Amino acid sequence: MELDLLYALTNRSGEQSWHDVMLETRRHTQLADRLGFDRIWLGEHHFDVDGTDASPNPIMLATDLAARTERLRFGMAAVSLTLWHPLRVAEDLALLDHFSGGRLDVAFGRGILPIEVMNLNPAANRWNGSDTSREIFDENLAIVRKIWTEDLFSWKGKRYTFPEPGTKFIHSPGAPMPEGWVGEDGNLVAFGMTPRPLQQPTPPLFAVTESMEGFLGAARKNLRPITWYPTGKVLTKLFENYRDEVAATTGTMPALGEGCGVLRLCCIAETDAEARRVAEPAIVEFFEFLCRVRGIGVWLDADEDPADPRYREMDPWDLLMERDHLMIGSPESVTERMTRLTETHGIQHWLLQMGAPGIAAADVDRSLELFAAEVMPHLRKLDASLRVAG
């Protein structure tokens, strides 16, 4: 059982300085390291004015945090791969892998907010009905993997050609000439990067996705999917198709849910009532925000129609709780809910966001400590025998 945190740099009131938010992030990360969580995942979000997640460079942020921790792994969830030059992000991630002592996990995504995508790489527009965003993602991912693993790297694709034709290699006379880099005309024909990642051949790779297409693509690309909103029968169907596609690709049939991460909002307090008091305002606000971004359908199960007005009329807390979006309550309640979902869906990798925008830092502290003391020991005992046969 893998038990991770998703951490957002929140400042909903706007009253904190960014520096104070950074100090708070360091403290929570060090606490997670001491309490025994497996990873902390950091997102990439730009131009945050709402205090939702002020994290424009998770690679740089994780470099700072890795130096202050001992065993906690650092997950990028996600690097918005379509917004980076593929060689630069490959180099930066490789350095982070060394700085962290090989404690890096990488999830790639395509960016989710128009303000980010359209101002950093409008060619990666994912809302215009074209396949361009996915094409850019696939090419950039292939480039990153290739330069991480090949001594003589070259690439010719739709958007990039490496080396750039006609590039001269200016060689230092005190160093040996790299074999295979230069052609007879003195131009580069291949090159490599220094350093490569510490973890060989690459750090563990993940994909952040909510769609069937994303799950199938992850299986074909040998990526572990991480998903947030799917629930109930929707989640089961994603897991079944991922399992079957892994089997078709590798010849080995995994268990249902194996390799898949599930993200949920989480808050632990001494009682269910106290947890609701602490978390409900933030959860309702987050619900409304996501409804604007993605529509209410992301919260619903397969047989529930987003156009049905009764879902909009429901209390948001009740709607989310009934569909297992909230791991919120007393230690006993959360243990029961997470155990049940482990048994019904085969979940063996949890990502828990305990700091939704608007939840105070002291309440996050208490939630982390209660989870580690009273929920984590039980979940650690759950093993593959509890997975559904599927």
Per-domain residue ranges for the chain?
1-149+200-208, 151-191, 228-390
pLDDT of 356: 87
pLDDT of 387: 58
Mean pLDDT of 311-332: 97
CB of 154 within 8 A of CB of 189? yes
CATH superfamily of 228-390: Luciferase-like domain (3.20.20.30)
Mean pLDDT of 164-189: 94
pLDDT surpassing 90 at residue 348: yes
**Residue 14, by phi and psi: left (phi above 0), alpha (psi -120 to 50) or beta?**
left
Q: What is the DSSP letter of 82?
A: G
Contacts 24+ apart (CB under 8 A), 333-342: 333/272, 333/275, 334/266, 334/268, 334/371, 334/375, 335/374, 335/375, 335/378, 335/379, 338/375, 338/379, 339/378, 339/379, 339/382, 341/262, 342/1, 342/379, 342/382, 342/386, 342/387
- Residue-wise pLDDT for 203-215, tens only, equals 999 999 999 999 9
What percentage of the chain exceeds 90 in pLDDT?
Answer: 92
C-alpha–C-alpha distance, residues 12 and 20, integer Å? 13
Position 386 confidence tier, pLDDT thresholds 50, 70, 90: low
Quote the mean pLDDT of the chain: 95
* Sequence-ordered list of residues with C-beta below 8 angstroms from that of 348, at least 6 positions apart, any chain: 1, 2, 257, 258, 342, 382, 384, 387
pLDDT of 389: 46
* Sequence-ordered list of residues with C-beta below 8 angstroms from that of 265, at least 6 positions apart, any chain: 279, 283, 286, 320, 325, 326, 327, 328, 352, 353, 356
Domains 1-149+200-208 and 228-390 share a fold: yes
- Residue-wise pLDDT for 218-228, tens only, equals 999 999 999 99
- Residue-wise pLDDT for 213-261, tens only, equals 999 999 999 999 999 999 999 999 999 999 999 999 999 999 999 999 9
pLDDT of 12: 87
C-alpha–C-alpha distance, residues 373 and 376, integer Å? 7
- Residue-wise pLDDT for 109-155, tens only, equals 999 899 999 999 999 999 999 999 999 999 999 999 999 999 999 99
**Angle, CA 5 vertex, CA 316 and CA 338 arms, to 5°:** 60
For residue 20, what are its two tokens?
A: 């104070």
Q: Which fold has domain 1-149+200-208?
A: TIM Barrel (3.20.20)
C-alpha to C-alpha distances, 66 to 105, 257, 315, 328, 380, nearest whole angstrom? 12, 29, 41, 29, 24
Record the pTM.
0.94
